[in-house]
Each structure stands twice: as C-alpha cells, then as structure tokens.
Structure 1
C-alpha cells in the first residue's frame, strides 16, 4: 500500500484576539496523493488531546505527537481546552497538523519567533508576576473578594493597547504576558491573565469569545459558591473605549446571561458554555446599589449611604425601570428631593448607561 500523508495547515491563533478580533482560518485538508483511501479517525476526546499536550509541550518542545489519526476538529477543541488550562503558554500562536494513517503531529507556531531562551525568561517573568498578584489576592478571605481584587488590579495596572488592537496582527498584547508583565493588552490578554490567576487561586474560570457591539471580543466566566457568572474586565476598564473617561467600573462584574447578551453573541463552538442565571453576587446587588423599582426616597437613602464617596452608581433590572428613574430624577426634578438626604453638596453631575441600565450621580 502506498504511504500517504495529509497536511492540515491551521492559522488558528488559539482564540487569540488582536484588537479583540478573532483570527481563525482553517485551510481544508490537502491530499498529497490522489489515490488516498479514507481512513477512520480515532475515537478520542478533547480532554485526551489536551492531556497529551500537557505531557509534551514545554518552553523547549513545541510539538505534540499522538500514535493515532485524530480529526482536526477534535484537535481544535483539544487546543482550546489546553489554552484554557494553561494561559501561561503565551507563545503558542497557531499550529500545523501533520497526519498519516497511523499518527498525528501537532506542530505549534511561536509568537514573534521567540527563541527557547527568550520564552524561558519571559515565562519566568510571567509566573513571578502572576504569583505576586495571587499572593495579594490571598489576603482576602472570600472568593468574591479575591475575584473583585484581581478584576480591579488588572484594570488599575493595564493600559488598553490600541496600537496592538489596530495592528491586524497577533502580538504579545493578546496574551497574559502582555497584560500582567508589560501592562499593555487587548481583551484576550485581559481574559487570559485573569484566568491564570483564578487557576492559581483554585477558582473555576474560563475564557469565552464572540461578536460584540465593539467587534470580536473575549471575556471570562467564573463559578462562585456553585453559581456561574460572567465578567468582562476589558469593558470595565474605561481606557478600553476611546470615548469613555473615568475610573474603573463594575458594570460587567458578575452579571447574568440576560445582561451579557445585551451587547454580544457567543460563539457556539466553545468548550464549555455556563448557564449564568444568578445575580446573588453581582457587584451592585452586593453593594446595595441595585433597585428593583424606582423611588426618589430610596435613591436618596442610597446616596446618603455613599455620601463619603460623593458618588454612587445605581443599577436597575430593566430598561423600563431605568428609564423611569432617569426621567423622574432629571426631568421631573426628583434629584433635588433625593439630594435632601445628603445635605450640603457643591455640585451635581450625572451620567447614564442605556445598555447596562446604570445611573451614576456625583454630588
């Protein structure tokens, strides 16, 4: 029998985002022989493919070999699972599959053609940075506080990389290294850095991707006290939107499906899609800033609670309730009644978010 090889070339960037833009381009199978006879693919799970990569890939070895013929879609799932478990492997930048009737080799491309010595040094830097953030997070008792700390830390110490976002190329800005070592990243870098630290903390977490109002995008989910929540660190960083100014936000911190899907759709080919239907640990709920219905008196009471901060953000459950609050406060003049709870104030400013149904009042 004639020996036959197949080459499947994939420019998949491991769910990497350049400018929050998914770059996935799989070139179909190319046969080197016209006389090929179709062979059976091995029955193997993405978890097994991932495990094989775990055992073989390192800062020096960029290939994974399997003594069986594996379907390219299963390899794609296995690679995605590997990246979800190993966000510190920042140098992986696509792969080529070489397969014959009895074996499969996955040859990974290296970001920026880094040498093994460069990768080793950079990996050590990444591990040290992640360990430092993990140690700081461990100072907090609850998982909620740890998640909140890491969310805020990443935003406070990372600049959104507009140059990388606009480059149309994969770069270090789309990795955990770019985020927590260089301090410059796009959404994939934010998400992978957060995932890496959650893995260190033993908190279940993952990265998902899809189409958003701002283009291709990546974000996280976490499991807290047995319930799943979404969070989008990039969009809570006002620097990620050139039209926004101000401090870090928590509008996308531990939100449910309904809130998330106001602004995006989720790619169906995710390894895992959680069902996020709880707001028990949502930031606004936890901080008594979620109003199920509008009331000028209750708004005033909440403003009094946050009088020392001279600012409060209040979230509403629906556009109807939110719109009632906006109109009543700033068109009908209820804001003056609410401010009577606070006492003296120098000036009043406010902003509204018609998507997340949040009113921010500075007084």
Structure 2
C-alpha cells in the first residue's frame, strides 16, 4: 500500500493516465475532423450536382422556349399563307351554293312560266291543227289526214307535241287538249264538206285524231270539268257541224286499251255505233296486242314505223344497221309486217303503215297489198290551207 501511495508511483500513474486521455482525445478529434471533411465533401458534391442539374434545366428550358417560339412563328406563318386559300375556298363554296340556289330558283320559275303559258294557250286557243296525208298505197292518192297538234307560241314560234305534251300530261291538261282538237277537227271537216268542188267530185277526206287515256277512259265530266263526256261531246259536234260520222276516225294506242279495259270497250262501242271508225295506233310495239285485239272494237291497224324502217332495204347502204346484220335483218321485218297484214285480213280490218320515207318501202308495201300508208314520202304535216290545196289537186 505504501508503494501504491508513494510519490513516484503516483506521478507515473498520473502521467500514464494523461497520456491515455490525450490519445483518446486525439482519436476523437481525428474522427470528428474526418466526419466534418466527409460532410463537407458530400455537401460540395451535392451542391455541384445541384448546380449542374440547375444549369441543365435552364438549358433545356431555354431550348423548349426557343422551340415553342419557333413553332409559334411557323404556325403564324402557315396561318398567314393558308388564310387566303381558305378564304378563297370558302368564297368558292359560297358562290357555288348561291349559283345552285339561283339555278334551282330559275328552273322553278321557268316551270311556273311554262305552266302559266300552257294554261293561257288553252284559254287563248293558241293551238293549231296540222294535217299529215294518208294515201291509198296502190294509187298514192290522198284519202285523208292524221290531225296533229301544234302550239303557236307567242315567243318561241310553232312548237311540236314533244315540246309541250309531257308538261300538259303532268298538269292533267291532256284531256282538255283532246277536247279542243276534236272541236277543231270537226270544224275543218265541216268546211271541206261545204266546198262545192269537193261535193261535185265526192271528195270526202277522213280525219284521224289521237285520243289519250285520260279522255277516253273517263266519259264523264270529272276529267275536263265540263258538262258532257267524250261520247256525248262527239255526238254534239257531229250534229252541230253536220258531219258524216264515217269521216271521223279516232286513234288509240295499246296503252290506252289496258288502262281501263272495261270502260274503254264500252266507250269505243258507243262511238262505233254512232258510225265512227277506230284505229289501233303503233300496233305491234306493246305486249298486249294479240291478247286484247279480239276484245276491243277496232276497224284499222296502224303498223308502227319501227317495222317499216328497214322494209324493202336490200343492204344498199341506206342503213348501217342493215350492213351489220346482213339481208336477214330486213327480211325479219318483212315477215312481221306480212303477219300483221294476214292477221288484219283474217279479222276484216284495214291497215295503215306509218313512217314511209323511202320509195323502196312504198314499193314493198304495195307488193304485200297493204291498204294505206303515211310518212314524209307522201308529205309532212301541213296547216289547214295547205291540206286543202292538196285535196284540190284532185279537181285539176
């Protein structure tokens, strides 16, 4: 114990303890310094990274802004460039729409004007009757005429049926035009009957007039709005103008026959009982010819011009269609025409061939013993004065 508490030992122990304490403090300082240095390095690194990222963000932001500005400029430039084209396209579309509306309005106005003019034509009696000769084929002498309507338009001049009859049909004016034609034809027959030279030579031309389904199938007053129907009206005209009934021939088409068969048959029966003749026009072009022929009271068959066109043509170059088909093509038409003639003979009917324009057609029909014919070869449709002059040739 004494040794423990001795002065030298105590001093040595104090020095030893101090050395140990200094060593520990040194170690503690070294760790602290190292930690501070590491933290400083970390902070510096983070600051460097942050600065780098901030710089990149600024650069990218600058680039994006530049790109946006450039894109805005490009869009503005494109808008400036396309604005005239867009305006022009819109203007063109608007112009086209306005033109279409204007044309439609003009068409509607034109239609209205035509309808008004047609109604006025009936009221003012602007229609005219033209007469195409019907001849006896063996002698080529005129035996009658087919009455054809024309419109003497105040501005457009003389109009053919194709120029106004379709519109008249849409307006339900066909029956009224038929009625006017009947009256005009009977008046003309009365004038010719009163001609003394015609009486002396017994010239009694027959006049044929086409009747529509609208008039023929409705004998009452509900079609024309007038007091009497077709049968009564014809009877009154014959009585008023003192016309021989056999001089008036009424022509109907096959389409008229099938519109209202029962009513048509009854109307035709009454007309024939009065002494009028009835013709079946355009025979052979419809599908009902043979099935209805034995039922309907008719006196005359009119061979359609489509069967006459190539008749007698021996492929001499008049028709290119014949050259393509050879001589057999016109022969086929000859067979059809001959069959119609044989059928008419068996039924005791007369036959009129339409559309005769060439001498060889006339010659062939004569050989086949066809009774009558009409067409430009014998004369086009003419006015009443010219028709009278043609009849007067028999007097000389």
Higher relative contact order (CA 8 A, sep 6+): 2
Q: Which has the higher strand share?
A: 1
User: How does the TM-score come out when normalised to structure 1?
Assistant: 0.24
When Rg is computed on C-alpha atoms for both structures, the one with the higher figure is: 2
Q: Which one has a larger percent helix, Structure 1 or Structure 2?
A: 2
